[in-house]
Amino acid sequence: MPVRRAVCPGSFDPVTNGHLDIVGRAAKLFDEVVVAIGVNASKSRLFTPEERIAMLEETTAGIANVRVAGFEGLIVDFCREIDAVAIVKGLRGAGDYEYELPMAQMNSHLTDVETVFLPGAVGNAFVSSSLIKEVATLGGDVRGLVPDAVLEQLVRRLAERTA
């Protein structure tokens, strides 16, 4: 039987508990899941590609059929390169759907790679990397919304930035 491989793409700057919920659930649906971290150099990020890859490797280490990779260029080209049949994305609400649907349709126009949408867990509906960074920057408590190891790195990075 061929391996049914899926990709969970994102910026993961940083990875949140919402992302990890989707990756863990995708790992139950597919033989292998590759977390694909967009490393497009033009965007300014809080964490480097290497740091984001390391954070994902650490936080998904307990899931045997998950691996982590960086990618540049089109996600569908990466999918073709690694022989993935699907892109898995989480939807927190209608706003995510509006944003994701044209991308899914474009990716479907470009290739036969399917997009599979999973509903985000209710408890993570408000969790995004950008809000986490904003709240943490302004001194808010984001414990429980990101893995503990990520929280430590986030606090350290923000302290370095304000020093």
Catalytic positions, written as ranges: 19, 43, 92, 129
Binders of ligand PNS among residues 64 to 93 (CB under 6 A) are: 74-75
Binders of ligand PNS among residues 89 to 148 (CB under 6 A) are: 103, 106-107
Q: Is the Cβ of residue 115 or residue 139 nearer to ligand PNS in the bound state? A: 115
Question: What would you report as the CA-atom Rg of the chain, rounded to the nearest whole angstrom?
Answer: 16
How far apart CA 70 and CA 34 sit, in angstroms, is 10
How far apart CA 85 and CA 76 sit, in angstroms, is 10
Number of residues interacting with ligand PNS: please give it, by CB under 6 A: 9
Tell me which stretch binds ligand PNS (CB under 6 A): 6-14, 44-52, 116-124, 143-151.
Answer: 6-14
Smallest gap from residue 38 Cβ to ligand PNS (A):
3
How far apart CA 58 and CA 83 sit, in angstroms, is 24
How far apart CA 114 and CA 94 sit, in angstroms, is 20
How far apart CA 7 and CA 65 sit, in angstroms, is 12
Which parts of this chain interact with ligand PNS (CB under 6 A)? 9-11, 38, 74-75, 103, 106-107
